[in-house]
Amino acid sequence: MSDLLTKVREGLRPPAAAGSGAGSGRWLVPVVWLAIGLALLAFPFYLETFWLRTGLLAMAAAIGAIGLNMLSGSTGQLSLGHAFFLAMGAYGYCVLAGDPDGPATGLGLPPLLAVVLAVLLTGVAGGLFSPIAGRLRGAYLGIATLALIFIGQHVLFNAHDLTGGFNGRVVPRLEVFGFVFDAERIVVAGVPFQAMEKLWYVGLVLLLGCVLFARGVLRGRPGRAMNAIRDHQIAAGVMGVPVARYRGMVFVISSMYAGLAGVLLALVFERTVPTYFSIVLSLEYLAMIVIGGLGSVGGAVLGATFVSMTPLILTRYSEALPLVTAPGTGGGFAPGEVSRFLYGGAVVAAVLFLPGGLARLPAAWRARQRARRPAGEAGPDTQRNEEVPR
């Protein structure tokens, strides 16, 4: 109970803004955000295609990770089925927007409508699983969602008409109000824009929307209810939170996030293949949210960036790095292996030494600074995470 009360007390306090601790550095925060925003807008003008592609994959991963973090981090429900919903979004978009005369089934809907419908479809799939998602708790749900992965893989490999089987299917181009996101070069301010440059801005808009929506949910009444369920489901129920309904609802939201991430992934990959959406992908998403910080939107973005970009960057620079060899050459460590070591180890290290993940680094650092000063006021940052008997 006592931990719940601290949560409630923390909740009554106004949400700690990024720079609330140190008064002198307050102006720094908006400046940094502005700089990051401008840099993100300017990237397509300066970076080559590899980096844009990598960045776009990180954005897609970030959207998926935010959704998973609302489920696992904020509500305490483990899900290993995230890859299933990613696949659902990706393939859903392909089927809905696909060419009706192509080799695989396609409905030929306008791409924008197809995106919306694909996300809704993933939500419906999440809702169908809610009789289970609403009733099971924590890691129990994690194992139950394993079923989704295997069902997903089975369908992807066997429903040839819909998914194209082992070879996957080509992703139809995105088209918004007549503007086509294809490889045709258009020149903007002397820089040729191709598919990745154009998609970059789509990714930015989607990511921003997802971040804002998630923050709205988490900081409002639903967020408090979700945290209460995570910390003590019985107390939450007693206080009037419909536990099962909330769990089911968060599961639906999280699947819709995954669906949108899947659509963006498909657009970047330009071809969807079933082997990508295996259990390994689900594990990667869990690694992202733990490394970034459970329950934090910014943390999910950081973790997603780290986990999704590491293997790509390692592959690109494999020749320059010691111990890393190009994939398939044997000897040494392949880039994929190195990155799995890195993020697997980072998951363990984050939980043991930095509970709260990367998102907690600034707060942990500030707390340390404050502790050095004599008679420092003890804020929530210095609170110890003690074992409280239930």
Residues that bind another protein (CB under 8 A): 1, 3, 72, 76-78, 131-132, 135-136, 138-140, 142-144, 146-147, 150-151, 154-155, 157-159, 230, 234-235, 238, 279, 283, 286-287, 290, 294, 330, 333-334, 337, 340-341, 343-348, 351-352, 355, 385-389
Which CB sits closer to another protein, 18 or 159?
159
CB of 317 to another protein, least distance (A): 20
Which CB sits closer to another protein, 59 or 133?
133
| Beta-carbon count within 10 A of 43 CB | 15
Which CB sits closer to another protein, 111 or 223?
223
User: How far, rounded to the nearest angstrom, does the alpha carbon of residue 155 sit from its chain's CA centroid?
Assistant: 24
Nearest Cα neighbor of 347 from 268, 270, 289, 271 is 289
CB of 104 to another protein, least distance (A): 16
Residues 179 and 116: their CA atoms lie apart, in Å, by 17
Which CB sits closer to another protein, 97 or 290?
290
Which CB sits closer to another protein, 136 or 301?
136
Instruction: Supply the DSSP string of 163-214, one letter for each residue.
Output: H-GGG-EEPPPPEETTEE-SS--EEETTEEE-HHHHHHHHHHHHHHHHHHHH
| Beta-carbon count within 10 A of 96 CB | 23
Coil, strand, or helix at residue 67? helix
CB of 360 to another protein, least distance (A): 13
CB of 224 to another protein, least distance (A): 18
CA dihedral 220, 224, 227, 228 (to 10 degrees): -160
Which CB sits closer to another protein, 100 or 331?
331
Phi, psi of 186 (to 5 degrees): -120, 150
Contact between 122 and 262 under an 8 Å Cβ cutoff? The reply is: yes
CB of 1 to another protein, least distance (A): 8
Here the tokens at position 49 are 């295609």
CB of 277 to another protein, least distance (A): 15
Here the tokens at position 165 are 């089987």
CB of 332 to another protein, least distance (A): 10
Contact between 57 and 231 under an 8 Å Cβ cutoff? The reply is: no
- The CA R_g of the chain, rounded to the nearest whole Å, is 22
Residues 68 and 125: their CA atoms lie apart, in Å, by 15
